[in-house]
Amino acid sequence: MKKTALRATIIAAAFTASIAIAGAQTLRVGLQSDVDTLDPVQSNNIAARSVFTALCDKLIDVDERLELRPQLATHWSWSTDRRSLTMTLRDGVVFHDGTPFDAEAVKANLERALTLPGSRRRSEISAITAVVPEDRLRVRIDLSAPFAPLLAQFTDRAGMMMSPGGFASAATAPVCSGPFAFTERVVQDRIVVRRFERYWDRDSVKLESVVFRPVPDTTVRLLNLRAGSLDLAERVAASDVAAIRTDRALRLVELTGLGFTSIIVNVGNGERARNPLGQDPRLREAFDLAIDRETLNRVAFEGANRAGNQPVPPDSPYYSKAFALRGADIARAKALLAAAGQPALAVRLLVPNTTEFRAMAEILQAMVAEAGIKLEIEMAELATAAAMMNKGEFQAFLIGWSGRLDPDGNIYGFNHCKGANNDSRFCDPRVDAALDRARASLAEEERRAAYDEAAAIHLPARHRLYLVHENWRFAHGARLRGFRAVADGVIRFQGLALE
């Protein structure tokens, strides 16, 4: 504890020194990790979403009730056959480089998301066949078939608009139209953004600047919040909730999230997939059966999250009841290991170096050991670990997903052969057909049947082992005003002010 406190003191001093030039309305935000890239088209990082929200307005936003709200698009309407969406755009919006936001910019952004090598957004909007500017402030989006998740996709990174003239620098210095403009980034240290004076909703922006700090250790984040070196901290540890509630200088905000934490098993992503766990589904089932999810949630999160075994939580209408959550079965796990000729299976688990991921990994290590599985934990900084995942440099990877409004956002990209987030490289044409039908249907019953059909194949394959559905927990100093939490876990900066 003394080492942690000393490290927190050193970090706090560095925070204070580095932002001494900032004004009184500089918000200092402690993130769980550094971001992977500043390009929303290529990003696959939870912490980056709040940074992007400060920089890049979207076509559509959501409110606290998860209802769609206009942002860069002020109105939208569907064609009778639901194969075309026409959007009316906000007038008077300019990008941070001074160029106007218009229908041509929407066309350029969506086409880039569909065609850029390494795009993480491609599969999210793959139904788009054409983007047609009808006039300066009206754009028509044509689809290959009715596409139920489209509006929900536009509330996140697929809907974020950048200046076409700044595409080349998007990964390091994005040029968007949001409330703040990019100033600087020092990798593993800070990202600084400053208020954009020509922002279309300028009156809602009270802050002069925002400094984002990656602080993977939850204890260090909280110590710096208490010391006044941070004003707002995300991903507060469940074990700190009681203490925060009794601290009169702090405020706690909790709400149910949309995402999940899971273990990705590499079954086809390069040479690292050529191992017993990646090639034998019996071993993946044994690993799965050795995990008690309710105990994992209770020990790692003090029961503050929700145990789960699917991409959506058990109370979702799209949860497959045929695969209900069950406890561990060590005897069955041992029998499967023996039948596969691997009674002492060795598994190497890549884990981001954050407090909660580290705790989960250690608990999992003890659980699977009861079945005879030797779990080796490989720690890496989150952005580094994500890069390793993208290149297939892992056997198994513990990672979270922040979740999306539409179930497609939690299912399609991870289980479809062409899914942008299918880093295990699982592929089954039957799953693809079912997920494509779910996207094309507008009826909940039809979509539910399609997701059940897909789940009957991809869940037993166990290329991804779902563990928990995390709640969002934020803590901030008492002088911060206007903070509102939304279930997507993204910080909104409009209306925030420091007393």
CATH number of the domain where residue 401 is located = 3.10.105.10
With respect to residue 157, please indicate whether it lies within any of the assigned structural domains.
yes
User: Per-residue confidence of the chain (499 residues) as pLDDT tens digits?
Assistant: 444 444 544 444 444 444 443 457 999 999 999 999 999 999 998 899 999 999 999 999 999 999 999 999 999 999 999 999 999 999 999 999 999 999 999 999 999 999 999 999 999 999 999 999 999 999 999 999 999 999 999 999 999 999 999 999 999 999 999 999 999 999 999 999 999 999 999 999 999 999 999 999 999 999 999 999 999 999 999 999 999 999 999 999 999 999 999 999 999 999 999 999 999 999 999 999 999 999 999 999 999 999 999 999 999 999 999 999 999 999 999 999 999 999 999 999 999 999 999 999 999 999 999 999 999 999 999 989 999 999 999 999 999 999 999 999 999 999 999 999 999 999 999 999 999 999 999 999 999 999 999 999 999 999 999 999 999 999 999 999 999 999 999 999 999 999 9
Cα separation, 476 vs 81, whole angstroms = 47
Count of other CB atoms within 10 angstroms of residue 249:
11
Look at residue 108 in the predicted model and tell me its pLDDT. Answer: 98
| Residue 13: CATH number of its domain | 3.40.190.10
Q: How far apart are CA 325 and CA 128, in angstroms?
A: 36
What are 19-26's contacts with CB under 8 Å, separation 24+? 19/211, 22/208, 22/209, 22/211, 23/208, 23/209, 24/208, 24/498, 25/206, 25/207, 25/208, 25/209, 25/497, 25/498, 26/207, 26/208, 26/209, 26/210, 26/211, 26/498
171 falls within a domain: no
Residue 173 lies in a domain: no
Q: What is the CB neighbour count within 10 angstroms for residue 308?
A: 22
Residues 353, 240 within the same domain: no
Looking at the fold, whether 326 and 392 belong to one and the same domain comes out as: yes
Query: Can you tell me which residue has the tokens 């994500």?
Result: 386
> Could you tell me where the beta strands, DSSP code E, fall in 79-161?
84-89, 128-135, 138-143
Which tokens is 363 given? 């608990």
Strands ordered across the beta sheet of 396-401: 306-307, 464-469, 260-265, 396-401, 346-352, 374-380
Tell me if 111 is assigned to some domain: yes
| One domain for residues 321 and 432 | yes
Same domain for 321 and 188, yes or no, is no
Does a structural domain hold residue 170? no
CA-nearest of 208, 69, 206, 212 to 151 is 69
Tokens of 378: 């490989």
Range of the domain at 192: 2-56+178-256+472-498
pLDDT of 368-422, one tens digit each? 999 999 999 999 999 899 999 999 999 999 999 999 999 999 999 999 999 999 9
Pair (334, 300) in one structural domain: yes
203 and 73 both lie in a single domain: no
Predicted confidence at residue 13, as pLDDT, reads 45
Cα 195 from Cα 173, distance rounded (Å): 15
Secondary structure of 422-480 in the HEC alphabet?
CCCCCCCHHHHHHHHHHHHCCCHHHHHHHHHHHHHHHHHHCCEEEEEECEEEEEEECCE
Q: Could you write out the DSSP letters of every residue in 296-338?
A: HHHHHHTT-SEE-SSSS-TTSTT--GGG------HHHHHHHHH
Q: What are phi and psi of 89, to 5 degrees?
A: -100, 155
pTM recorded for the entire structure? 0.88
247 vs 478: CA distance, rounded Å = 10
User: Is 172 a domain residue?
Assistant: no
> Which of 165, 191, 207 marks a domain boundary?
165
Domains in the chain: how many in total? 3
**Where among 101, 132, 165 does a domain terminate?**
165
Domain shared by 46 and 106, yes or no = no
Domain assignment of residue 68, yes or no: yes
Domain match, 270 and 414 both: yes
Write out the H or E segment, with its range, that includes residue 232. Answer: strand 232-233
Q: Does residue 270 sit in the same domain as residue 155? A: no
272: which DSSP letter?
Answer: G
The predicted structure's pLDDT at residue 17: 43
What pLDDT sits at residue 2? 44
Query: Do 457 and 325 contact (CB within 8 A), yes or no?
Result: no
**Spatial CA neighbour of 481 closest among 22, 25, 15:** 25
Q: Are residues 74 and 51 in the same domain?
A: no
Closest by CA position to 31, among listed 294, 244, 217, 286? 217
> Quick one: pLDDT at residue 24?
74
- Residue 102 sits in a domain of what CATH number? 3.90.76.10
227 and 118 belong to one structural domain? no
Question: Could you tell me if 339 and 369 are in contact, meaning their C-beta atoms sit under 8 angstroms apart?
Answer: no
Final residue of a structural domain among 108, 141, 165? 165
Let me know whether 239 and 372 are in one domain.
no
Question: Alpha-carbon Rg of the chain, whole angstroms?
Answer: 23
pLDDT at position 5 is 47
How far does Cα 287 stand from its chain's mean position? 25
